[in-house]
Each structure stands twice: as C-alpha cells, then as structure tokens.
C-alpha cells in the first residue's frame, strides 16, 4: 500500500455522496414532502442501472457469459456509467483480477484485508504502479467499450445526475429529482454492489465450492438483482446465471433470457446440470472426509465403507447422466445446423437424460441420508 497514491476524488465523492443522498433526501422529504413520482424515479433508475452493472458490466463484459446486439451493448454501457463505478473497461479488469487472484494480495478487493477494505476502502487508492489492461484484450478491441471508457465521467455525472434533475424540473421539483433519482440512487447502487465484494464473501452458504470465501446469500441477491448467489458464480463464472434454480431471485438472468427471446442476445453459456451436481457432491464428500478424519477409527469404519459404496453408485449414475446429457447437447447442435438424426432419436435421448437424472437424484438421496446419519451420530458423540 505504500506504493499507491490515495484517490482524493473517489474519497471525497464516496464520503460526501451518502451525506447528500441519505441525509439530504431525508431532510428534503421532511421539509417539502414526497411527490409520488420521486420514489418511482428512484426505483426505475435503481433497477435499470443495477441491471446494467450486473447483466452488463459483470456478466457480459467481465465474464463474456453471453453475446448481445451492439445496440444492447450501448444501452448497458450508457446506463452502467450512471452508476459511477468506473468505466466498463476498468471495472472488468479489476473483476477479472478478483477472480484470478481471489483471497490473495493480488485480489483488488481481497476480503482477507477486512470487510471494510473489500467493501469500499480499496476504491480509495489509485491503480498500483505498472497496472495495465492486458487481461481485457477483447474489450480493448470493442469500440463501444472504449468510447464509454473515454466519456464515462461525463455520462455518469452530467447525464446520470442531470437527467433526474430534468425530470424533477418537469414536475416543478428539480432538487427532488436530483436527490431521489441522482444521489440517493447512486449511493444505494454503490453500496449494494459493494456488498457483493464484502458481505457475499463473509455470510452465507458454500454449496458448490469451499476453495474460496465466496458465499451464496439469498437476501443479498434480492437487493443486487441476483448477484448474491456468489458461491455458484465463483465456481462457475462463465455461466450467465447466478441464481441457477428457476425460483431464485435473479433479474439479471431473466433480463438476459428476455434479450435472447427477442433475438438481441445469443450464445448464453450454461453449465451442464451434471457438472453442477458433481460440484455439490464434492463439497459434501469433503465435509464427510473432514469429519471422518476426526472420528475414532472404530466408530468410522462402518460409515466409511457405506459412504464409499454409496458414492460409487452415485458416481456411476452421475456419469451415465453426463454422457446422455452430452449426447443430447450434441444432437441439438446438429439440429441447429440442419443436420443430425430424426426427431424421434432426439426425443429418445432426451427421455434417457431424464431417466438417468432421476436415477442419479435417487442414489444421491440415499448417499446423503447415510452421510447425514453419520454426521448426526458424530456430532452427538463429540
């Protein structure tokens, strides 16, 4: 840190903007009341700018989890600049470094330096000497990204604060528009995004990987348009989804799916379900191994043998499911090219995929029941 200069522009803005956004808006509301359109303006801009960060800066530009029409890219870049979280180029560079070096000193917002560092303090410093954009060559060749990189401050400050002020002026309350749609929105978009860097590395579950600090946090996902499912994301960063289950709150995922349905997005990258289930199994198995290692041999041998037999059956069922799923994906790709076998063959393979999935889930439930029985026995004995 001795080699890095403080960024006083960032420090002053991040310190003063919450005062203006929170205290200023509360004072204005108490003094002049709340017009119906002010919270509406706030919610519309909070949602649209938040999605531009999550579905745009994060899932499109940082991870390339899907491709979208240039016009959609332009909209995402335009609204993303409103967040005042730097340009998409710098944001993506830092985020790719975060994934590559997570939980190490080379991670820009390393949680091991403390929650406050990961949340906001890392932004108080300028880039370290020798920083470059070598990890974002794809973005350097994107003319829309580079245009936004050049002009994002003007867009973010001039239009991000100017447009809500103009809306307020149309209703005769320009200060109300500036406070609700400008400063209050900026502050809450800032700190909900920052919470993914801090809280999502401290609180929640780790069902897909325990190799790093990232956690799934459904409550955080609600306020971050789906970004709170952070353990899944760190395990499968190339997946366009964070909330992998259909019922998990992930508006960024739904927005991307809507773009695909409208023909404005394509090549959505999805992790095969068997691969996801294999990751969850690995976490459960590691938990069992860790507990077995702390259990006296005479009490663990029987459970160990049962777990090994059950795991062998689970692995066999999983491999059959993976092979069938890979065959089905291959047939779908062939169909898209106008090739491949008849629809009857595809239907038969799809039915096979479902049968093997049911078999896998059944054998996994049996294995998990044995595992949970062992863990309960071990915990009660300790």
Per-residue pLDDT at 380: 65
pLDDT of residue 304: 77
> 207 near 221, Cβ under 8 Å?
no
What is each CA distance from 268 to 89, 123, 157, 273, 338, in whole angstroms? 21, 31, 32, 15, 20
Residue 178's pLDDT is 98
Please give the C-alpha separations between residue 68 and each of 16, 63, 255, in angstroms, as whole numbers.
36, 13, 12
What is the Cα 9 distance to its own chain's centre?
A: 28
DSSP state letter for 229: B
* Residue pLDDT, tens place only, 199-232: 999 999 999 999 999 999 999 999 999 999 999 9
What is the band of 241 on the pLDDT scale with cuts at 50, 70, 90?
very high
Average pLDDT over residues 337-354: 83
The pLDDT tens digits of the residues spanning 242-251 come to 999 999 999 9
Ranges of each domain in the chain:
8-266, 273-381
Q: Nearest 5°: CA angle at 108, between 107 and 109?
A: 90
Q: What is the mean pLDDT of residues 182-196?
A: 97
Question: How many whole angstroms separate alpha carbon 310 and alpha carbon 319?
Answer: 14
Cβ pair 188, 46 in contact under 8 A: yes
269 vs 290: which has the higher pLDDT: 269
pLDDT range class, residue 329, cuts 50, 70, 90 = confident
Query: Alpha-carbon torsion 39, 41, 43, 46, what sign?
Result: negative
Mean pLDDT of 329-348: 81
DSSP labels, 166-204: HHHHHTT-HHHHIIIIIIIHHHHHHHHHHHHHTGGGTSS
- What percent of the chain lies above the pLDDT cut of 90? 75
CB atoms within 10 A of CB 343: 10
Threshold 0.75, pTM exceeds: yes
Q: Please, which pLDDT band fits residue 337 given cuts at 50, 70 and 90? A: confident
Torsion of CA 169, 171, 172, 173, to 10 degrees: -70
**pLDDT number for residue 2:** 52
Mean pLDDT within 272-291: 87
């Amino acid at each position: 840190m001795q080699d890095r200069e403080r960024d006083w522009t960032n420090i002053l803005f991040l310190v003063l903007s919450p005062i203006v956004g929170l205290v200023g808006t509360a004072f204005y509301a108490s003094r002049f009341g709340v017009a119906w359109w002010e919270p509406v303006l706030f919610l519309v801009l909070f949602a649209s700018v938040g999605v531009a960060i999550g579905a745009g800066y994060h899932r499109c530009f940082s991870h390339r989890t899907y491709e979208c029409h240039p016009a959609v890219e332009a909209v995402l870049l335009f609204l993303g600049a409103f967040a005042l979280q730097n340009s998409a180029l710098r944001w993506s560079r830092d985020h790719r470094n975060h994934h590559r070096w997570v939980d190490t000193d080379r991670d820009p917002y390393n949680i091991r330096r403390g929650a406050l560092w990961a949340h906001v303090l890392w932004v108080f410093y300028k880039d370290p000497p020798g920083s470059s954009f070598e990890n974002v060559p794809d973005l350097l060749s994107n003319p829309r990204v580079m245009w936004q990189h050049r002009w994002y401050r003007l867009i973010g400050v001039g239009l991000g604060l100017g447009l809500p002020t103009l809306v307020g002026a149309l209703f005769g309350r320009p200060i109300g528009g500036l406070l609700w749609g400008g400063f209050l929105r900026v502050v809450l978009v800032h700190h909900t995004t920052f919470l993914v860097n801090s809280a999502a590395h401290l609180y929640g579950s780790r069902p897909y990987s325990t190799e790093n600090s990232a956690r799934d946090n459904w409550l955080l996902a609600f306020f971050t348009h789906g970004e709170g499912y952070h353990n899944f994301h760190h395990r499968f960063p190339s997946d366009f989804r964070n909330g992998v289950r259909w019922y998990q709150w992930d508006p960024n995922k739904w927005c991307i799916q809507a773009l695909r349905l409208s023909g404005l997005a394509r090549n959505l990258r999805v992790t095969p379900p068997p691969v996801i289930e294999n990751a969850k199994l690995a976490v459960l198995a590691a938990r069992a191994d860790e507990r077995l290692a702390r259990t006296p041999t005479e009490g663990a041998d029987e459970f160990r043998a049962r777990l090994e037999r059950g795991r062998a059956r689970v692995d066999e069922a999983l491999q059959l499911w993976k092979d069938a799923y890979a065959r089905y994906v291959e047939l779908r790709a062939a169909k898209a090219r106008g090739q491949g076998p008849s629809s009857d063959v595809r239907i038969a393979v799809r039915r096979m995929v479902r049968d093997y999935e049911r078999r896998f889930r059944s054998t996994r439930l049996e294995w998990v029941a044995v595992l949970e029985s062992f863990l309960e026995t071990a915990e009660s004995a300790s």
